A and B are shown apart, each in its own frame.
Chain A
Amino acid sequence: MDRREFFKKSILTGVAAGAAMTFGDFGKIFAGKVPPPWAPVPYDLVAVRDGEPVQMFDKAIESLGGMKNFVKKGQTVVVKPNIGWDTSPQRGANTNPDLVKRIIEQCFGAGAKTVYVFDNSCDNWNKCYENSGIRKAVKDAGGKLVPANSESNYQEVDVKNGKKLKKTKVHELILSSDVFINVPVLKSHGSAVITAAMKNHMGIVWDRGYWHRNNLNQCIADFAAYHKPDLNVVDAYRVMTKRGPRGVTEEDVVMMKSLILSKDIVAADAAAAKLFGAEPANVFYIKLAHDAGLGTMDLTKLSINRIKM
């Protein structure tokens, strides 16, 4: 590279970076999505039961080689729980705050620079963050709880190979962060049978109405093809078995005291469905995602570590 070329390239890069920063798309530049160099995890799926959320998570992540297998020093992480509803933790409508807190702590333990937490909630976001107990959990763990209520924070992306969902607006932190940890809560759902990992993606996009208008199951599967979390942690500690996803009383909740971890979002949902007493093939978005080759819902083909506390 001669001097002229060097100057030309520097200036071009500078202009491009400047332009990108101006238009708010700067995340993509610094967070080039390269395949992670770390070791493959020892199990396809870890399932834990009969413990408290914190202990179960510690056990599960340890069996996957520790959080350092997912988060490297200096990386930015998004932990995305379900904070969709203005209800108390006892109602099981939102992800368990203790679990969220522990995951953030583990991320920092692995050397994470920043851990962001957000959800595009259904009820008023401020009340959801507060009453779910997640605001306090994130604060205590040193994470950053980010509002997701403004369309200006969402960027339109192309969903490649999407059958129904071709374009959708995604929260900018998903695009700019290095690691995405999906932390749904397992619940019943009036129309989608269950909601867990894949459906939790509806909290990182802006226009959910479009998904509902255009074959919800297909849109959920399409988006799973576009974006896969680096780790899925399905909270099945308190499971809302009926009247979900919001629930009405604490009577809707059953204590299952279980937790599922997997890199494979389809497998995580399939195991969650099994816990719920449903066949994965009867939860249509799981079947669609399985058929599209985004993961496997056939749990017999996976190496599973089953831990009883």
Chain B
Amino acid sequence: MQLAFMKKIRVVVSLIFFIVTVFVFVDFAGLVASRLIRALLYLQFIPSFLKFIYVFSITAAGFLFILILTIFFGRVYCSTVCPLGTLLDVFTWISGKFRIRKRFKFTKPQNWIRYMILGALILIFCFSSVFLVNLLDPYSLAGKIVSNLFRPLFYLGNNLLSRILQLFNSYAVYSVPVKVFSWPPVLFSFSFLALIVFLAVYKGRWYCNTLCPVGTLLGIFSRFSIFKIRMDENACTSCGLCAIACKAGCIDVKEKKVDFSRCVACYDCFKSCPEDGIGYKNGFRKKDKPSNLSRRSFFKTTLLGTTTILSTKTVFGEKKEQQGISIVPVTPPGSVSIWHFTSKCTSCHLCVSACPTKVLQPTFIEYGWSGMFQPKMDYHAEFCNFECVKCSEVCPTGAILPITKEQKATLQIGISKFIKNICIVVTKYTVCGACSEHCPTKAVEMVPYLGNLTIPKVDEKICIGCGACEYACPTKPDKAIYVEANSYHRKALKPKKKIEDKKKAIKPTDDFPF
């Protein structure tokens, strides 16, 4: 039990990562600075990889560190940095406390499934789609669970507290209205959480060794790790306590072998062994028997899986034009184009959580099946704050690239379109101007109409597509002004610094005008 301390370290590190990550996803007050969020998520494997291949800089090289760590000590990522892994462990731990959990036992690896998924995912990715990544990346799955399930509950609790404090005349806690509630991401997250709980109780880390693409990939690397966890054949009494403790089910007591490709480096076995018969050993000293998966079968399964999945993959569908709604979703400022965004976003919903106005909302299949749950600018929920670049600061995958406030001020993500025949001014013959009121660049301006009435007019050159006009437009059910997405974001002209009054310039006088 000399190495039992390693488990303690692992638990502490994983809990720190987990708690801070969860907090970042429920934090509505922006208490955690964007810089810290970036540092925290630096090591998330898939987001870091996606960002790296685009920006190609050390600022996104977190996945390389993970690979190096894996080469040395195996899949340390899975039991420390990965929030889904820790979530699984939490449920496993709880079930152990309540004695629901059965003992774990050695299981055979599901190589066919795991290599097929990984191969398919890589191949689909080569066709620049993140399909499967957005459904299977463990960080993004944890993000979806926290953002879509824990976050609303957290808000609800906060709002209740706010209401109670208000009864005592305290306004220290403010309420956070949950503006939009869309079922598909919630249902998906809930079903997945249910699966997670079941697996955690009965199958341990089955997900990580069967479905998780990161687990599989790191597993390939950990086959060649310099230090591996091995059983000391002389010390081992074949008591089997280590196999019972192993939630990855990778310790074969009969053969006295550890399948290190499936080991998640949790070190529970170190603590379980009364003889100190299991621990890190130099991996090169004794050659492993080749694994039961031949190279040929690896390629075979990979290829087969890819073709099946590729044949089901869909791209953007042509939608019929509808009044007052953009044909393609508007993507957030910094996301370059709809193609850049959809080929990078793993729908972890961190931007959805961090967005101060909550204009960013998860979709279902509006980007097509391959872009399930990726967020969009929902101008019926809110509009994009003119001075805010929060989403671009926190996005860990580079789907939303960092931009400055100055860049954002002229970054055109869409263009406002005015539908005159349903505007209040035309249908009710009364003043309104809500759209123009909210417009931060005055791209929507009120110009003379009949009599004393004024009607909106859009200057498309200076419109940035923030959606303030669409949000404010009071017409029902369709909005009389809406933002049509720019598939490629463009640069808008700067709003005029100064305008001349059409009538007479108002100047301060020397005396009171009354």
Contact = CB atoms under 8 A, between A and B. Distances in A.
Interface of A: 47, 49, 86, 114, 122-124, 126-127, 131, 144-147, 149-153, 189-192, 208-210, 212-217, 239, 241-243, 245-246, 248-249, 251-252, 254-257, 270-271, 274-277, 282, 284, 299, 304, 306
A246 B446 CA distance: 13
B108 to A, nearest CB: 54
Q: Which interface residue of B433, B476, B512, B513 has the most chain A CB atoms within 10 A?
A: B512
Interface string B427-461: 01011111011111110011000001010000000
Interface in B166-195: 166, 169, 171, 174-175, 177
Contact of B514 (A127, A150, A151, A299): A299
A255 B506 CA distance: 10
B430 A248 contact: no
Sorted nearest first, the 3 A-B pairs with minimum C-beta distance are A191-B433, A190-B446, A209-B474
Nearest to B427: A213
Given A189-B437, A248-B441, A304-B514, A146 B428 contact: no
A147 B174 contact: yes
B159 A150 contact: yes
B171 A145 contact: yes
B171 A127 contact: no
A258 to B, nearest CB: 8
A190 B174 CA distance: 32
A107 B299 CA distance: 79
Given A124-B357, A190-B446, A249-B497, A257 B508 contact: yes
Interface residues of B, number: 51
Contacts of A47: 512, 514
Contacts of B166: 153
Contacts of A242: 499, 501
B431 A216 contact: yes
Nearest to A278: B506
Contacts of A239: 506
B358 to A, nearest CB: 9
Contacts of B474: 208-210, 212-213
A274 B440 contact: no
B507 interface: yes
Interface in B1-57: none
B386 interface: yes
Contacts, number: 135
Given A86-B387, A299-B514, 6 more contacts: A147-B175, A191-B432, A215-B428, A242-B499, A246-B439, A277-B506
B163 interface: yes
Contacts of A216: 430-433
Contacts of B238: none
A271 B437 contact: no
Contacts of A248: 440-442, 495-496
Contacts of B504: 277
Given A190-B446, A241-B506, A209 B434 contact: yes
A127 B446 contact: no
B152 to A, nearest CB: 15
A168 B111 CA distance: 64
B356 interface: yes
Contacts of B433: 189-192, 212, 216
A186 to B, nearest CB: 11
B323 interface: no
B360 interface: no
Nearest to B425: A191
B512 A213 contact: no
Given A150-B159, A217-B431, A124 B441 contact: no
A160 B441 CA distance: 39
B492 interface: no
A36 to B, nearest CB: 23
Contacts of B387: 86, 127, 131
A95 B356 CA distance: 23
Interface string B483-510: 0000000000001111101001111100
